[in-house]
Amino acid sequence: MEKVLVLDFGGQYNQLIARRVREQNVYAEIKPYNKITPEEIKKEGYKGIIFTGGPNSVYEEKSPRCSKEVLHLGIPVLGICYGAQLIAYLEGGEVCKADNISEYGRVRLEVKEDTLFEGVPSFSECWMSHTDYVKVLPEGFEVTATTEHCPCAAMSNGKDIYAVQFHPEVTHTVYGKSVLHNFLFGVCKCKGDWQMADFAKEAIENYKKQLAGKKVLCALSGGVDSSVAAVLLHKAIGDNLTCVFVDHGLLRKDEGDMVEKIFKERFNMKIIRVNAEDLFLAKLKGVTEPEKKRKIIGEEFIRVFEKEAKKIGKVNYLVQGTIYPDVIESGAGDASTIKSHHNVGGLPSVIDFDEIIEPLRMLFKDEVRAVGTELGIPADLVWRQPFPGPGLAIRVIGEITKEKLDILREADAIFRDEIKRAGLEKITNQYFAVLTDSRSVGVMGDARTYGYTVALRAVTTDDFMTADWTKLPYEVLDRASNRITNEVRSIGRVVYDVTSKPPATVEWE
């Protein structure tokens, strides 16, 4: 299988590069810049190397740098943003900081004739995010693109080293996919032989061997990620897999019963439902800080699994539905932590399992759905609304109580019902309600009320690493608001969240 190395220099959204490469049926493998040597790179037989962006300046003493030797292994290299500046620095060019060169956001790009820009118009729109720039090109390099404020928006040596200051991996760069395609197929001469079907087949075969004769627990939440992980492992090891579904009392309306029914009746899996609402609510009592909520839930999940494992007998492995955005937002490699996902950054330091198995750890949400389809999981489950592991605990702002959870469950069910009635399930990728910790004055039946404010949230995204708020029709919002304020007690006001990611995240906590 052909593969491309994405050398990670610590940027928060660099994983989008790998995703864009995989979209073109070329397998991308991400490695931290300081975790792989030039010798190992050559031995792995990569068809190409992509240097990612990053938050540092190349001329600072502690900036992340790889060996110059990586550029001269006979493997084509593409540098993006910080990666482009690093190439210039390593090859003897000059990188400088200048306030009037800084560019953030959409910028008009002018390109010259070059292999990297085959089929790209002379003028188009790209996405920039930089303060530093390449002031003096390395010997043997030529400028291949410019912007109004950046004299070197792209450069190449005309052979096997290319660099772009802009970000082709983001959707705001109109011809970004074309630039990556040209590098993969025009420069690296890839064939595009990687398919999601190959991933599922290889994973099943690997786990058949790795877990032969072993007892395995799967942490099943009923969401897309854990469901795909469960079915994949069930196809590999059959009845040696036991799914443990922890109903922590933080689920959406009627969700616990639905999850139990689906996996018992549709997939004929061994499933244990643990009703642990009282335990979780007791542990969360008085807790208001989001990260603390996540870590408490993460630890309690593990402790419940450990307890159930002892009832079964010796269980060697725990399976989780961790996916790539979970890992990144929890602070993988040199990236900063945005929020600890309960199944990554929320795990306790000591667990009573030989190993945690995360078959989807390197996949993005759309890739997980593709695997689910390949495994034969029904579309209504594969395309089900994403739901965070900590559940409604991070959609209730402030202290969590059963009363607040019940209020939110009803409001959320109404909002989701109105989205469905309007036929908008495929228009917006995730939609839900949040119970804020704010109360406001209102009036009902000529009497003063003092109720909670509910925030409705809907986002459109294809990767969940970035997202735009969904422009829902006013009529849908109007109906949802009227129903919520009329049908759910204690709610006096409904607002709609119009913030994209970034600067926000999809969830509020």
The 3 state secondary structure assigned to 461-472 is CCCCCCEEECCC
The pLDDT value recorded for residue 318 is 86
Whether the CB-CB separation of 55 and 11 falls below 8 Å is answered with yes
User: And the tokens for 508?
Assistant: 């509020």
Q: Per-residue pLDDT tens for 57-67?
A: 998 888 999 99
Catalytic residue chosen out of the listed positions 2, 91, 103, 169: 169
Instruction: Place 329 in a pLDDT band, splitting at 50, 70 and 90.
Output: low
Domains and CATH numbers, the chain: 3-187 (3.40.50.880), 196-382 (3.40.50.620), 397-496 (3.30.300.10)
Instruction: Place 367 in a pLDDT band, splitting at 50, 70 and 90.
Output: confident
Catalytic residue chosen out of the listed positions 81, 150, 218, 243: 81
For residue 127, the SS3 value is: strand
Q: Within a 13 Å sphere around the CA of 157, how many CA atoms are in the beta-carbon half?
A: 18
- Residue 332: pLDDT over 50: no
Run of H or E residues at 447 = strand 447-460
Catalytic residue chosen out of the listed positions 130, 167, 181, 341: 167
Run of H or E residues at 368 = helix 365-374
The Cα–Cα gap between 388 and 385 comes to 10
- Residue 339: pLDDT over 50: no
What's the start-to-end Cα distance of the chain, in Å?
A: 40
For residue 96, the SS3 value is: strand
Q: Phi, psi (5° rounding) for residue 438?
A: -110, 135
Q: Which residues contact 45 (CB under 8 A, 6 or more apart)?
A: 3
Report pTM: 0.67
The pLDDT value recorded for residue 102 is 66
> Which residue in 344, 246, 248, 260 sits closest to 295, CA to CA?
344
- CB atoms under 10 Å from CB of 415, counted, come to 26
- Residue 342: pLDDT over 70: no
- Residue 165: pLDDT over 90: yes
For every residue of 97-117, DSSP letters joined together read: E-GGG-EEEEEEEEE-S-GGG
Q: Per-residue pLDDT tens for 469-502?
A: 999 999 999 999 999 999 998 999 999 999 998 8
- Residue 264: pLDDT over 70: yes
The pLDDT value recorded for residue 331 is 47
To 5 degrees, how large is the angle CA 6–CA 10–CA 13? 75
169 is catalytic: yes
State how far the alpha carbon of 99 is from the alpha carbons of 84, 104, 129, in Å.
19, 12, 13
Determine the residue type at 419: I
Between these two residues, 445 and 442, which has the higher pLDDT value?
Answer: 442
- Residue 412: pLDDT over 60: yes
Q: What totals of helices (H) and strands (E) does the chain contain, helices first?
A: 14, 20
For every residue of 171-214, DSSP letters joined together read: TTSTTHHHHHHIIIIIIS-------HHHHHHHHHHHHHHHTTT-
To 5 degrees, how large is the angle CA 127–CA 130–CA 135? 115
Mean pLDDT throughout 97-119? 85
The pLDDT value recorded for residue 440 is 84
- Residue 344: pLDDT over 80: no
- Residue 74: pLDDT over 90: yes
Please state whether 269 falls in left (phi above 0), alpha (psi between -120 and 50) or beta: beta
- Residue 13: pLDDT over 70: no
Alpha helices in 26-167, H assignment, sequence order:
38-44, 82-90
- CB atoms under 10 Å from CB of 212, counted, come to 10
How is the beta sheet containing 270-275 ordered, strand by strand? 270-275, 241-247, 216-220, 317-319, 355-357
Sign of CA dihedral 218, 222, 228, 232: positive
User: And the tokens for 359?
Assistant: 């078959």
**% of the chain with per-residue pLDDT over 70:** 92
242: β partners: 217, 270
The Cα–Cα gap between 297 and 131 comes to 40
The pLDDT value recorded for residue 348 is 44
152 is catalytic: no
To 5 degrees, how large is the angle CA 296–CA 298–CA 300? 70
Instruction: Place 458 in a pLDDT band, splitting at 50, 70 and 90.
Output: very high
The Cα–Cα gap between 504 and 499 comes to 6
Q: Which of 160-174, 175-189, 403-417, 449-463 has the lowest mean pLDDT?
A: 449-463
Mean pLDDT throughout 214-230? 87
- Residue 350: pLDDT over 80: no
243 is catalytic: no
The pLDDT value recorded for residue 81 is 93
The Cα–Cα gap between 250 and 279 comes to 11
Between these two residues, 199 and 165, which has the higher pLDDT value?
Answer: 165
The pLDDT value recorded for residue 118 is 96
Q: Which residues contact 209 (CB under 8 A, 6 or more apart)?
A: none
To 5 degrees, how large is the angle CA 13–CA 90–CA 7? 30
Alpha helices in 50-175, H assignment, sequence order:
82-90
- Residue 464: pLDDT over 50: yes
For every residue of 401-438, DSSP letters joined together read: -HHHHHHHHHHHHHHHHHHHHTT-TTT-SEEEEEEEEE
Give the chain's mean pLDDT.
88
The pLDDT value recorded for residue 12 is 65
Instruction: Place 185 in a pLDDT band, splitting at 50, 70 and 90.
Output: very high
